[in-house]
């Protein structure tokens, strides 16, 4: 394709479509004609109502007002995820945002903590993480220079509607209709246009596939192929329901491991998002629905919704003049709230690679390589929760603890078990998270870095106590989460810049 890109067509709305529209229109709207095609009659998955801190930076890139966003989406703050029954029944831990303790040039904080535990002078690993302590005490406050790392819980449908209004202010044109046919150029196989069920044809220079798991452009039209990860992630179904809020929202997501499934609980301002992710080979749809409804609080607001999925990714997320964003690019269960992150990652990465005059295959290949790396590492991190567990109470958990895992994950587990090291690869998303989850799941290293032994017992005690005291003092100054949220949204509390 040798022509410059002037007309971008986004196929599908929902969170993925309107995030793409918002970013393209705000950052490149003066150079592009952007059209989004969606149908009111096609529902969206909308289960990913929890996010990670990268969304804060996405909003800042777009100049989105945080208070307005929270009001429009019934949003609350999130400092991490509480994992219940994952290590074993009755054993819980919190995977929090931010960094635990203080690293040195040669090794991570976990090495100092390991020696401290051996000597009996260190507390729980999470006591040295500000975000974890704040989450467990149900506190939140904006701190200067992003002193407290945070994300959001949000209503995905409201978020899409909010971004639609945002995008239309910057010139995005929305067209109502179902896509009936993807038209291809006969000479090169690039997409030429989208024929709607009304007969209207929407032509364009570049197309973004946000059609969800149907993947109408990237797969059905361009046949890029799909790599399944179901042999590593056996869950293939979910049932979701919304309930009335019966208590104040807490600043963390709950992930509760069940016999052959896990349940999410996501608190918004006036309701709670609930769901159960399960493996249909171990549990029927009927029993999953019953189990979810038996373990929710408050009256249900909708009928439970059943969702079938296959974990994995497209072999190419950018092919010819088409980019897959959201579920059309692949699916990873929302255990670590990475769905919206992967949407924004593809959008921002595409903007970095945006063709100046024509599409160059070398850029497409590099884009796809980076996407592959990101998804593979997030995949490994999610598999870690299933693989490293002491649970053996059901056939499901016995299978998970004994299953083969990707070589990249096996190497990471072995490295941490034998040496206590975790090394970040390239621009990998998770850093401190690996230590938190591996320790939380019960994987404790056999040794620590010898450099730590250069500290005397007194010095190590002072070092650990100083970190813990700083965390204690900061947490003591924070507001209660619900108190702060109400004050911030009403304008009574103005956060520091």
Do residue 315 and residue 303 come from a single domain? no
Asked whether the beta carbons of 291 and 276 are under 8 A apart, the reply is: yes
Do residue 134 and residue 259 come from a single domain? no
Say how many C-beta atoms besides its own lie within 10 A of residue 496's C-beta: 9
The residue among 478, 447, 452 whose CA lies nearest residue 463 is 452
Q: Which residues contact residue 88 at a Cβ distance below 8 angstroms, ignoring those fewer than 6 apart? A: 389, 390, 391, 442
Do residue 167 and residue 127 come from a single domain? no
Cα 56 to Cα 62, 115, 181, 381: the distances in Å are 10, 36, 37, 22
Q: Report how far residue 376's alpha carbon sits from residue 371's, in angstroms, rounded to the nearest whole number.
A: 8
Q: Report how far residue 196's alpha carbon sits from residue 78's, in angstroms, rounded to the nearest whole number.
A: 40
Do residue 165 and residue 222 come from a single domain? yes
* Residues marked as catalytic: 78
Do residue 323 and residue 302 come from a single domain? no
Examine residue 64 and state whether it is found in any structural domain, yes or no.
no
The residue among 428, 277, 405, 437 whose CA lies nearest residue 341 is 428
Examine residue 222 and state whether it is found in any structural domain, yes or no.
yes
Do residue 203 and residue 261 come from a single domain? no
Examine residue 77 and state whether it is found in any structural domain, yes or no.
no
What's residue 3's pLDDT? 67
What's residue 175's pLDDT? 98
3-state secondary structure the chain: CCCCCCEEEEECCHHHHHHHHHHHHHHHCCCCEEEEEECCCCCCCCCCCECCCHHHHHHHHHCCCHHHHHHHHCCEEECEEEEEEEEECCEEEEEECCCCCCCCCCCCHHHHHHHHHHHCCCCCHHHHCHHHHHHHCCECCCCHHHCCCCEEECCHHHHHHHHHHHHHHCCCEEEECCEEEEEECCCCCCEEEEEECCCCEEECCEEEECCHHHCCCCCCCCCCCEEECCCCCCCCEEEEEEEECCCCCCCCEEEEECCCEEEEEEECCCEEEEEEEECCCCCCHHHHHHHHHHCCCCCECCCCEEEECCCEEECCCEECCEEECHHHHEECCHHHCCHHHHHHHHHHHHHHCCCCCCCCHHHHHHHHHHHHHHHHHHHHHHHHHHHCCCCCCCHHHHHHHHCCCCHHHHHHHHHHHHHCCCCCCCCCCCCHHHHHHHHHCCCCCCCCCHHHHHCCHHHHHHHHHHHHHHHHHHHHHCCEHHHHHHHHHHCCCCCCC
Examine residue 68 and state whether it is found in any structural domain, yes or no.
no
Do residue 394 and residue 466 come from a single domain? yes
What's residue 497's pLDDT? 75
Please report, for the domain that includes residue 194, its CATH number.
Answer: 3.50.50.60
Radius of gyration of the chain (CA): 23
Examine residue 300 and state whether it is found in any structural domain, yes or no.
yes
What's residue 1's pLDDT? 45
For residue 409, the enclosing domain spans 97-150+386-477
Q: Report how far residue 34's alpha carbon sits from residue 276's, in angstroms, rounded to the nearest whole number.
A: 37
Examine residue 371 and state whether it is found in any structural domain, yes or no.
no
Domain count along the chain: 3
Asked whether the beta carbons of 411 and 419 are under 8 A apart, the reply is: no
Examine residue 428 and state whether it is found in any structural domain, yes or no.
yes
Examine residue 58 and state whether it is found in any structural domain, yes or no.
no
Q: Report how far residue 137's alpha carbon sits from residue 133's, in angstroms, rounded to the nearest whole number.
A: 6
Q: pLDDT in tens for each of the 497 residues of the chain?
A: 446 899 999 999 999 999 999 999 999 999 999 999 999 877 665 555 899 999 999 999 999 999 999 999 999 999 999 999 999 999 999 999 999 999 998 899 999 999 999 999 999 999 999 999 999 999 999 999 889 999 999 999 999 999 999 999 999 999 999 999 999 999 999 999 999 999 999 999 999 999 999 999 999 999 999 999 999 999 999 999 999 999 999 999 999 999 999 999 999 999 999 999 999 999 999 999 999 999 999 999 999 999 999 999 999 999 999 999 999 999 999 999 999 999 999 999 999 999 878 899 999 999 999 999 999 999 999 999 999 999 999 999 999 999 999 999 999 999 999 999 999 888 899 989 999 999 999 999 999 999 999 999 999 999 999 999 999 999 999 999 999 999 999 999 999 87
Do residue 317 and residue 354 come from a single domain? yes
Cα 264 to Cα 165, 274, 437: the distances in Å are 29, 5, 17
Do residue 141 and residue 283 come from a single domain? no
Q: Report how far residue 18's alpha carbon sits from residue 158's, in angstroms, rounded to the nearest whole number.
A: 11
Do residue 398 and residue 463 come from a single domain? yes
Do residue 325 and residue 188 come from a single domain? yes
Do residue 406 and residue 434 come from a single domain? yes
């Amino acid at each position: 394709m040798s022509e410059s890109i002037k007309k971008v067509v986004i196929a599908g709305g929902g969170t993925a479509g309107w995030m793409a529209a918002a970013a393209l229109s705000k950052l490149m709207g003066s150079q592009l004609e952007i059209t989004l095609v969606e149908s009111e009659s096609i529902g969206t998955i909308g289960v990913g109502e929890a996010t990670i801190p990268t969304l804060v930076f996405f909003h800042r890139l777009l100049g989105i007002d945080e208070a307005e966003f929270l009001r429009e989406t019934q949003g609350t703050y999130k400092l991490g995820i509480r994992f219940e029954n994952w290590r074993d029944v009755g054993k819980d831990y919190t995977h929090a945002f931010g960094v635990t303790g203080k690293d040195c040039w040669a090794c991570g904080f976990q090495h100092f903590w390991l020696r401290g535990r051996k000597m009996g002078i260190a507390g729980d690993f999470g006591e040295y993480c500000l975000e974890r302590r704040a989450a467990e005490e149900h506190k939140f406050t904006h701190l200067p220079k992003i002193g407290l790392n945070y994300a959001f819980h949000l209503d995905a449908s409201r978020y899409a509607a909010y971004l639609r209004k945002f995008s239309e202010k910057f010139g995005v044109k929305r067209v109502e209709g179902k896509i009936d046919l993807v038209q291809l150029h006969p000479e090169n196989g690039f997409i030429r246009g989208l024929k709607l069920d009304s007969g209207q044809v929407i032509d364009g220079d570049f197309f973004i596939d946000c059609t969800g798991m149907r993947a109408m452009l990237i797969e059905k039209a361009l046949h890029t192929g799909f790599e399944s990860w179901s042999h590593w992630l056996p869950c293939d179904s979910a049932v979701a329901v919304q309930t009335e809020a019966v208590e104040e929202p807490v600043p963390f997501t709950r992930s509760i491991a069940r016999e052959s499934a896990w349940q999410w609980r996501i608190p918004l301002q006036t309701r709670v998002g609930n769901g159960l992710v399960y493996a249909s080979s171990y549990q029927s749809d009927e029993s999953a629905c019953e189990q979810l409804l038996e373990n929710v609080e408050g009256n249900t607001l909708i009928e439970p919704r059943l969702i079938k999925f296959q974990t994995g990714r497209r072999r190419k997320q950018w092919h010819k003049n088409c980019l897959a964003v959201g579920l059309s690019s692949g699916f990873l269960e929302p255990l670590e709230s990475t769905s919206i992150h992967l949407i924004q990652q593809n959008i921002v990465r595409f903007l970095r690679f945006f063709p100046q005059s024509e599409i160059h295959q070398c850029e497409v290949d590099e884009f796809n390589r980076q996407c592959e790396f990101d998804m593979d590492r997030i995949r490994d991190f999610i598999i870690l929760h299933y693989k490293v567990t002491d649970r053996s109470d059901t056939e499901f958990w016995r299978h998970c603890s004994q299953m083969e895992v990707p070589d990249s994950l096996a190497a990471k587990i072995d490295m941490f078990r034998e040496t206590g090291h975790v090394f970040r690869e390239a621009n990998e998303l998770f850093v401190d998270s690996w230590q938190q989850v591996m320790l939380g799941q019960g994987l404790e290293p056999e040794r620590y870095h010898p450099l730590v032994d250069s500290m005397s017992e007194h010095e190590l005690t002072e070092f650990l106590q100083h970190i813990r005291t700083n965390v204690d003092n900061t947490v003591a100054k924070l507001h209660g989460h619900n108190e702060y949220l109400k004050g911030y949204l009403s304008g009574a509390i103005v956060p520091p810049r």
